[in-house]
Amino acid sequence: MRDYCELLPSQVIVEMVSEDEDDPKKHPGPTVAALMKLSFDEEHRHAMCQLGGLHAVAQLIQADHEAHGSDSSDQYCITLRRY
């Protein structure tokens, strides 16, 4: 997720030129969904907090918001923010 956050600004520039904007591999939505599901277990929550998972998710949402804005209609961005 942190790598995606670092690459996000350059991907936005490439997407402006590229026609293939709906590639789900560009978005870490499945990773965030898995973290959300695992967070219901107390042991997993503890491990996520110890390993910086909460900060990584916050960084991801902030980077996504900065790159795509608050009124993004991209389904992957909306799903990511919902998780």
For the record, the structure tokens of 61 come out as 């949402």
Rounded Cα–Cα distance for residues 67 and 81 (Å): 13
Contact between 8 and 63 (Cβ < 8 Å): yes
Rounded Cα–Cα distance for residues 30 and 79 (Å): 10
Q: Which pLDDT does position 19 carry in this prediction?
A: 46
pLDDT above 50 for 4: yes
C-alpha torsion angle, residues 47, 77, 11, 51 (rounded to 10) = -10
Predicted TM-score (pTM) of this structure: 0.69
Place of tokens 């900065």: 66
6-65 pLDDT per residue, tens = 877 776 645 544 444 555 556 788 888 888 899 899 999 999 889 988 898 889 888 888
Q: Which pLDDT does position 54 carry in this prediction?
A: 85
